[in-house]
Chains A and B, each alone.
Chain A
């Protein structure tokens, strides 16, 4: 048996109430119940980071969180990174450095980079690589991605 539950959260700064099944993962709830399809399902088992969100200030894989767990929580998804006027400097740097090809991994990398720079605004290359070790990309190659991450840190420091 499963149950229906009303979950109250704040997503990207906005209070959101949604109806979830007690079996839903947060990733399923975001995509199917709330209509935020930016977080991607890559592996559905915690290994790829395509589903990354920031949950109560911590980088988290939303496929490894139950929707019911986010009652009362604050979540930032890829949809909350840009402002209505402009791309976030991280997004801009990913474009300029051609740090994406198919784009499946990109929301996860950008959210993970946001969480990194929130905590460590001037990461070394090693720190950036270690932080992003849980994000997999099958097409672009990590060097371009790391270049974009370090560039966005520089841009944001200006």
Chain B
């Protein structure tokens, strides 16, 4: 491991100060499931870990009438382990349930998954479709940024020196809403998505009144697919409109060929998974 110091922040202000003083080689340490390995393998130059898991606000998760707020230190198992979250924010529960194995889920966070900005990150499509908004603390106070605007490319995000994510807020879905998330991997567990997809929709009878689509591992960052929403919002949910949304997802995907999948396979999967999650989310919206 490279030369590396550790600091435990007791408050948001102290974390900001430590990150600011540390400069570009200081890193937030949340669950550590990405960043500790990166430091060990020297894939990033890191000189200081700022542990944020002893800040009360970051360890809280509140499921209120207006929505769900997840502190940036809350481990994944607490998210999918909550029956109300599984019911109301299904896409988030489904994604967090399969990130890594049990030992990863005991520590990993959705803030880390987002900030790490992997194009294949599993929770990001779910965060997108549920309308997540990140609360970011920094030297000049706090700001709120939609999760769709956080990642800019592989491993790249908009956070400025001294800034970090305090919590992520998901507004409570309207009545008759449902969401779903799915990924394709060659094994049953413990693998990086070839493609992942999520949708959240609201129905009025059988008419789709709102829909949000997310797609991962098909571009340099997770896609928020507005063209798929345009293909289905205001229309009845039928085989034809579902196929139109799936076609829009296929069209939006601009994947690469790599050892996990080919361009052709990934575009195909973008359509298939979009159809799957749409049907599943619609069932939940009707329930």
What residues make up the interface of A, taking CB atoms closer than 8 Å to B? 1-3, 5, 22-25, 44-47, 49, 52, 55, 58-61, 63-66, 68-69, 71, 112, 115-116, 130-135
What residues make up the interface of B, taking CB atoms closer than 8 Å to A? 1-6, 8, 29, 31-33, 36-37, 40-41, 47, 49, 51, 53, 75, 77, 100-104, 106-107, 188-190
Tell me if A71 and B2 are in contact (CB < 8 A): no
Rounded to whole angstroms, the CA-CA distance of A130 and B100 in the bound complex is 11
Tell me if B107 and A115 are in contact (CB < 8 A): no
Residue among A2, A46, A47 having the largest count of chain B Cβ atoms under 10 Å? A46
Given A49-B101, A130-B189, A133-B188: A69 in contact with B40 (beta carbons within 8 A)? no
Contacts of B103 in A (CB 8 A): 46, 49, 52, 59-61, 64, 112, 134
Rounded to whole angstroms, the CA-CA distance of A54 and B6 in the bound complex is 22
Contacts of A132 in B (CB 8 A): 101-102
Q: Which residue of A lies closest to B190 (CB)?
A: A133
Tell me if B8 and A71 are in contact (CB < 8 A): yes
Contacts of A116 in B (CB 8 A): 102
Tell me if A64 and B3 are in contact (CB < 8 A): no
Q: Which residue of A lies closest to B188 (CB)?
A: A133
Rounded to whole angstroms, the CA-CA distance of A59 and B31 in the bound complex is 13
Contacts of A65 in B (CB 8 A): 32, 36, 107
Rounded to whole angstroms, the CA-CA distance of A58 and B224 in the bound complex is 34
Task: Classify the interface of chain A: helix, strand, loop or mixed.
Answer: mixed
The 5 closest A-B pairs by CB, nearest first: A134-B101, A58-B106, A133-B189, A68-B6, A23-B1
Tell me if A69 and B106 are in contact (CB < 8 A): no
Contacts of A55 in B (CB 8 A): 106
Partner of B4, one of A23, A115, A130, A135: A23
Task: Classify the interface of chain B: helix, strand, loop or mixed.
Answer: loop
Rounded to whole angstroms, the CA-CA distance of A64 and B5 in the bound complex is 16
Number of A-B contacts (CB under 8 A): 97
Tell me if A115 and B1 are in contact (CB < 8 A): no
Tell me if A64 and B33 are in contact (CB < 8 A): yes
Rounded to whole angstroms, the CA-CA distance of A65 and B108 in the bound complex is 11
Tell me if A64 and B107 are in contact (CB < 8 A): yes
Tell me if A59 and B106 are in contact (CB < 8 A): yes
Contacts of B6 in A (CB 8 A): 3, 5, 22, 66, 68-69
Tell me if A47 and B107 are in contact (CB < 8 A): no
Rounded to whole angstroms, the CA-CA distance of A3 and B29 in the bound complex is 17
Rounded to whole angstroms, the CA-CA distance of A116 and B47 in the bound complex is 36
Q: Which residue of B lies closest to A2 (CB)?
A: B3
Tell me if A25 and B40 are in contact (CB < 8 A): yes
Tell me if B107 and A60 are in contact (CB < 8 A): yes
Contacts of A52 in B (CB 8 A): 103
Q: Which residue of B lies closest to A136 (CB)?
A: B190
Partner of B102, one of A2, A5, A25, A115: A115
Rounded to whole angstroms, the CA-CA distance of A121 and B276 in the bound complex is 34
Rounded to whole angstroms, the CA-CA distance of A115 and B101 in the bound complex is 13
Rounded to whole angstroms, the CA-CA distance of A2 and B3 in the bound complex is 5
Rounded to whole angstroms, the CA-CA distance of A147 and B5 in the bound complex is 44
Rounded to whole angstroms, the CA-CA distance of A100 and B103 in the bound complex is 21
